A and B are shown apart, each in its own frame.
Chain A
């Protein structure tokens, strides 16, 4: 059963962690070094609804939740779907509530979650948020093309700083231009080839890699080397993402 609260998409955008849980204590905490007041609650996590992978297995544990300052505080024994961000990580978690919805708004009938492959009842909202994020990223791109990496070469002499980006140039064989002042054919784009901590997570095209590329104007003075650069991991998408972009009017 899909979640039905209209508030959920906004709460998801504002929170990193959501769970179905029951207030066990008020004015108490599971950690010794966090402040406690009347709106500090110990909550038993019944089901994690969305979370980074490392926190997906917190069902049947207790967390500290600082209830939002405004609004009616729940009572001991109340169940709800809580949306929160973390403030401290110790023996357990301390969370700050962003908002909550009635448990019934996210609960699936018994067995339905299992039948759906164990997926969260919020998966539909999460997918929509992911689509929105992709569209926002595409809107910020200066050009969007479909192409294949034909050549990789060093663009500049490597700098002496340990955090030097080590600029390389990928030549794309562009088959299709979805956006921007670009023509099909060869197109050079810059990327940071360094594996230093500052650049390790930036996009690193591979020889023969084909797909959808979201290009951004190169920063000065790099534009002399190539007009575009790709740095963000989302600058590369499988070609099927074109449907997502078009389906939303991009």
Chain B
């Protein structure tokens, strides 16, 4: 686990680096993260059964075919469930509390975990419509987060 910086440490000369966990990208997941950097939400679709899935796998988890393609999802979906983190997942998330983590059912079918970016965490509800937004947290990493469609 990443330790919180000690108070006595000298202040960094550069803007504070992104200290939260970053995905350890592997060959099976690289197309997803590469697309995110281009502000696209790319997920696998099975040519055999027609269903999408997420996270990306080598075989379709529905029909186990290996005939898969990457397609751009609409970036729209609805909240299947959510939790408001009142305690952080380690010190690097402490400044974000409270924050909303949601399971989003994409309009294409699969569920995806992400953050709901909102000024008021208390207004989030199951069934709320959401749309993707792209947070370029480093030059190499873009995180697809979501915001509520309701005002």
Tell whether A pairs with B: no
Which residues of A line the B interface, CB within 8 A? Answer: none
